[in-house]
């Protein structure tokens, strides 16, 4: 346990030093088209994953990449940790996020988000603000971007009951493009609200695409069933791997609802 703690501490330091490095390196991209800051963000994500493997012994396996369509796309991913927010960037040419408006106000990091033309939403502004967000998301996706969205709206601890929000089905219907569901087990290795980073293999799996044309209810049932079924399988595999490596799994020492 002491070694696990030490590795986690070292990675925390390395993670933020790596972030600072790419923020400074990316300063010239403020005077460049959007692709410049997207290139910086993708490389920040890749190097963060690299250092997690080196420091913490956490490998990554990607499955189903051949299923990712070209062009405009809705990406609906399970959200268990911070890890997937940067890990997914590398798979898409023009990634787009809907995020809290407050993040856009952060020095440097928020300025990069604005430069990348991400969509900020004021969660307390009510229905009219959300309608404007949906319209902007539709317009950006129809220009060829890939909207990465987390259907539950926030990070969910491993084992928590799924809570899919209505917004993702509204965006699916509004945009009228293919959706690719994404299952993962990152929360077993980068747990929500935990300092520790665990060794093992993070798996991110791209599932069968869902064509446009379903109703909101049909889409919600399909996307939630696909993601939850695959995620449960990946989480169970991760538990078994952690018990082989450590003698216990991350969820053995963390309440599932923490």
202-249: pLDDT as tens digits: 999 999 999 999 999 999 999 999 999 999 999 999 999 999 999 998
Which residues pair with residue 60 across a beta bridge? Answer: 202
Contact 190, 197 (CB under 8 A): yes
96's enclosing H/E stretch is strand 95-100
Q: Which of 74, 128, 127, 133 is nearest to 99 (CA)?
A: 133
Provide the residue ranges of all domains of the chain, joining segments of one domain with +.
Answer: 57-252
- Stretch 115-129: mean pLDDT, rounded? 78
**pLDDT score at 123:** 67
Token pair belonging to 37: 């800051």
β-pairing verdict for 179-184 and 73-77: parallel
Q: What is the tens place of the pLDDT at every residue in 152-210? A: 988 999 989 999 998 899 999 999 999 999 999 999 999 988 999 999 999 999 999 99
């Amino acid at each position: 346990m002491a070694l696990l703690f030490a590795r986690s501490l070292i990675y925390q330091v390395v993670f933020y030093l790596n972030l600072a490095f790419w923020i400074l390196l990316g300063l010239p991209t403020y005077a460049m088209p959007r692709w410049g800051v997207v290139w910086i963000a993708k490389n920040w994500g890749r190097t963060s994953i690299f250092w997690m493997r080196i420091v913490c012994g956490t490998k990554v396996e990607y499955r189903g990449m051949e299923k990712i369509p070209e062009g405009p796309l809705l990406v609906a991913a399970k959200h268990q940790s911070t890890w997937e927010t940067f890990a997914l960037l590398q798979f898409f040419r023009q990634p787009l996020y809907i995020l809290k408006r407050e993040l856009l106000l952060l020095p440097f990091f928020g300025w990069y988000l604005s430069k990348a033309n991400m969509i900020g939403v004021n969660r307390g502004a009510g229905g009219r603000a959300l309608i404007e967000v949906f319209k902007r998301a539709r317009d950006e996706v129809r220009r060829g971007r890939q909207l990465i969205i987390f259907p539950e709206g926030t990070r969910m601890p491993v084992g928590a009951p799924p809570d899919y929000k209505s917004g993702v089905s509204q965006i699916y219907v509004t945009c009228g493009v293919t959706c690719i569901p994404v299952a993962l087990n990152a929360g077993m290795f980068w747990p929500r609200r935990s300092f520790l980073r665990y060794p093992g293999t993070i798996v991110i799996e791209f599932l069968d695409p869902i064509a446009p044309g379903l109703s909101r209810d049909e889409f919600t049932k399909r996307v939630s069933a696909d993601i939850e079924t695959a995620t449960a399988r990946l989480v169970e595999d991760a538990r078994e791997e952690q018990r082989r490596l450590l003698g216990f799994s991350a969820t053995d020492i963390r309440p599932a609802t923490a």
